[in-house]
Amino acid sequence: MKKKFRAALVQMKSSASKEQNLAYSLKLINKAAKNKAQLICFPEFQMAYSPAEQKPKELHKSAETIDGNFISMLSNSAKRNKINVIATIYEIINTNKQNHKVFDTAVIINDRGKLESIYRKVHLYDALGFKESNKLLAGSNIESPTRTSVGNLGLLICYDMRFPEISRILTVNGASILVSPSAWVAGFMKQEHWEIMLKARAIENGVYVIAPNQLGNIYCGRSMVIDPFGSTLIDMGNREGMEIIDIDNSRIDTIRRTLPLLKNRRTDVYKNYVDVFESES
């Protein structure tokens, strides 16, 4: 793991055209590599914007398997540019059993072009007037953090950020950087929730949080990078495009020594209440 590395944060307005979004993504990977970035992070729904009126069957037609053209092209670019890529797709696994629904999937592609992690969004956004489960299938696994040349990366997606359990599970299993590709819907108090929770997940776990977000359509932008003490290193506001930042991994250990939240946990006490929590839910 590198002590310091350069990361690229992408804030994009995905169109309904998969081909257009792929071309734009490949352009940004090349640009990031030219700026000596070793990691580039794309938002949720990178593959395509799915408007509310789009039927599940129509979205299913755009979706691909994990070894389809979209990921293959990104993998080739990652290898060619020697850069780690975090990307998202609508994924088909079993076309006969999905009832035209697809998975909302994030992947980690390493700087040799190898697919290292596949995470299917666990918490679907069935809240605040939305119902993602009409089109999407929920994943059932939290993927172990992935060791890369820039650090141990833990994946979650958008609405997952509202559930602190997933961030903590990733952290105690070794994640030093949480990456949350997102398409955070704009609305009353939504930007405040976004910022507060990104900071909370960073502070309580002593990790970097990298959160690339969609812009435009129904989404609020504000792609952010938060350091392990809760400082905002990047806030892209409503600017479309890409920003580059240098990240110092040694800061993680420094913060965890001075604010030892993970060490001070009372798991001996918590375990007595796990069954209670599960029964009440």
Catalytic residue among 101, 121, 135, 199: 121
Please report, as a single letter, which amino acid is at residue 117: S
How does DSSP classify residue 152?
E
What distance in Å separates the CA atoms of residue 132 and residue 128, rounded to the nearest whole number? 11
Spatial neighbors of 55 by CB under 8 A, at least 6 apart, are 100
- Sign, Cα dihedral of 168, 166, 181, 3: positive
Query: ∠ at Cα 220 (216, 222), nearest 5°?
Result: 115
Catalytic residue among 91, 101, 143, 158: 158
**41 counts as catalytic:** no
Strand 208-211 with 215-216, pairing: unpaired
**97 counts as catalytic:** no
Catalytic residue among 18, 41, 44, 135: 44
How does DSSP classify residue 143?
P
**2 counts as catalytic:** no
Residues belonging to the active site? 44, 121, 158
